[in-house]
């Protein structure tokens, strides 16, 4: 007997991470999948041995006996699909970002609360071995007072990437580099350092024909006094170059870099800790910038649904980075500092 029965909506690029993770866990199952492009739903069903496929996700929700729904469609569609799932008393696993506006995210959170179902927002980068080690160092207060944080997301997304699907680079369905590609880094920074007090940002469309920014920088002030910056561009020549977070504190300096926070490049603390011996083994070579985090993410989803633990990133956790990104956009639009 499989324990949790999932339905998956959106059989595009990221869906393989979901299909593969649940297959690897082994005890649970994706019993149906849906995509408006029939060939995608059909091909995924065949490849991953999914029993039924649909082109209308509502039909799937109504006909199948599901426990939870995975939403891997364009970001702006996550709230309405999540709300339809919640209304049917199905738990919701939403790809990041959970919505493209805080208002829509709140509607989704409210629907899940009112229907007493759980809401998970995929933030798999938090589970990278490198990031877990860094988080542990912060929780142990190894940095002392944290002064400055910097995150760089220097990636390359050619025009052909944006042209491969209508929703990419659109305001309502996608958002720009901060909302899509750098959103993991916005999330990581607030998860590591703490609540953000204010932001000042500049964004621009410098190299692509899209509605939203391909480049931007933001200065963040944290409630604990630390100052941070996030710099992102999708125009890096010739390909993805760096996805990093650097933390400078009273008693420590760390840079987790590589192409997607997969390599500890600097790890220097005043006091020794046994964790220092884990640096080399925590580095890894990801097949792509998505990393390996979906599998541990799903282990947490399943254990949470079985009542054994609590959600790694629930709706309220997923909302935090979205609120910061919305503030970044407001600051860039108005030219003013935005207080959160
Ligand atoms: N966690 C991560 O690191 C990560 C990585 C990539 C993408 N994502 C997120 O996953 C989501 C999907 O991204 P992608 O790159 O797989 O996009 P994609 O365009 O490759 O896939 C989206 C799929 O949804 C389908 N779809 C659109 N409208 C639908 C509808 N009404 N009903 C059913 N299916 C519908 C499309 O036909 C397409 O196959 C986005 O929100 C993105 O931000 C997350």
The enclosing domain of 142 has a CATH number of 3.30.360.10
Instruction: Give the rounded percent of residues in the chain with a pLDDT score beyond 70.
Output: 99
What spacing in Å lies between the alpha carbon of 250 and ligand 1's midpoint?
42
Candidate of 11, 36, 70, 73 to mutate for ligand 1, largest count of ligand atoms within 8 Å of Cβ: 73
Residue 289 domain-assigned (yes or no): no
Task: Encode pLDDT of 106-151 as tens digits.
Answer: 999 999 999 999 999 999 999 999 999 999 999 999 999 999 999 9
Q: Strand, helix or coil at 226?
A: coil
The enclosing domain of 39 has a CATH number of 3.40.50.720
Residue 130 and residue 119 in one domain: no
Task: Encode pLDDT of 7-65 as tens digits.
Answer: 999 999 999 999 999 999 988 899 999 999 999 999 999 999 999 999 999 999 999 99
Residue 70 and residue 80 in one domain: yes
Helices (H), 120-202: 129-139, 159-163, 183-193
C-beta of 74 in contact with ligand 1 (< 6 A)? yes
Whether the per-residue pLDDT at 1 is higher than 60: the answer is no
> Terminal CA-to-CA distance of the chain, rounded, Å?
47
CA–CA dist 340, 331 (Å, integer):
11
Its pTM surpasses 0.95: yes
Q: Strand, helix or coil at 47?
A: helix
Task: Encode pLDDT of 140-196 as tens digits.
Answer: 999 999 999 999 999 999 999 999 999 999 999 999 999 999 999 999 999 999 999
Residue with tokens 């979205």: 322
Task: Encode pLDDT of 230-264 as tens digits.
Answer: 999 999 999 999 999 999 999 999 999 999 999 99
C-beta of 10 in contact with ligand 1 (< 6 A)? yes
C-beta of 36 in contact with ligand 1 (< 6 A)? yes
Please name the residues in contact with 338: beta carbons below 8 A apart, sequence gap of 6 or more: 198, 199, 200, 327, 328, 330, 331
Residue 220 and residue 330 in one domain: yes
- Parent domain of 262: 125-284+322-339
What spacing in Å lies between the alpha carbon of 36 and ligand 1's midpoint?
11
**Domain count of the fold of the chain:** 2
């Amino acid at each position: 007997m499989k324990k949790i029965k999932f339905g998956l909506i959106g059989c595009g690029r990221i869906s393989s991470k979901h299909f593969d993770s649940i297959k690897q866990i082994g005890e649970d199952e994706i019993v149906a999948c849906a995509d408006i492009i029939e060939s995608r739903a059909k091909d995924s069903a065949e490849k991953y041995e999914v029993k039924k496929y649909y082109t209308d996700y509502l039909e799937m929700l109504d006909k199948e006996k599901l426990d939870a729904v995975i939403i891997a469609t364009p970001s702006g569609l996550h709230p309405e699909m999540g709300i339809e799932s919640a209304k049917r008393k199905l738990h919701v696993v939403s790809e990041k970002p959970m919505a493209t506006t805080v208002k829509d995210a709140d509607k989704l959170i409210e629907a899940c609360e009112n229907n007493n179902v759980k809401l998970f927002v995929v933030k798999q980068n938090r589970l990278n071995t490198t990031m877990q080690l860094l988080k542990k160092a912060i929780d142990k207060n190894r940095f002392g007072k944290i002064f400055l944080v910097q995150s760089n997301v220097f990636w390359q997304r050619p025009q052909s990437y944006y042209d491969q699907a209508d929703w990419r680079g659109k305001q309502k369905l996608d958002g720009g580099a901060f909302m899509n590609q750098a959103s993991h880094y916005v999330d990581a920074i607030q998860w590591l350092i703490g609540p953000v007090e204010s932001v000042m940002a500049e964004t621009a469309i410098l190299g692509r024909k899209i509605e939203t920014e391909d480049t931007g920088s933001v200065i963040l002030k944290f409630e604990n006094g630390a100052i941070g910056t996030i710099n992102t561009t999708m125009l890096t020549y010739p390909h993805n170059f760096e996805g990093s977070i650097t933390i400078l504190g009273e008693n420590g300096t760390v840079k987790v870099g590589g192409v997607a926070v997969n390599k500890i490049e600097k790890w220097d603390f005043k006091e020794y800790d046994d964790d220092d011996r884990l640096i080399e083994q925590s580095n890894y070579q990801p097949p792509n910038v998505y990393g390996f985090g979906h599998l541990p993410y799903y282990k947490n989803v399943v254990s949470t649904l079985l009542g054994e633990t609590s959600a790694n990133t629930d709706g309220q956790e997923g909302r935090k980075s979205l609120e910061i990104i919305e503030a970044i956009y407001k600051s860039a639009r108005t030219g003013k500092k935005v207080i959160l």
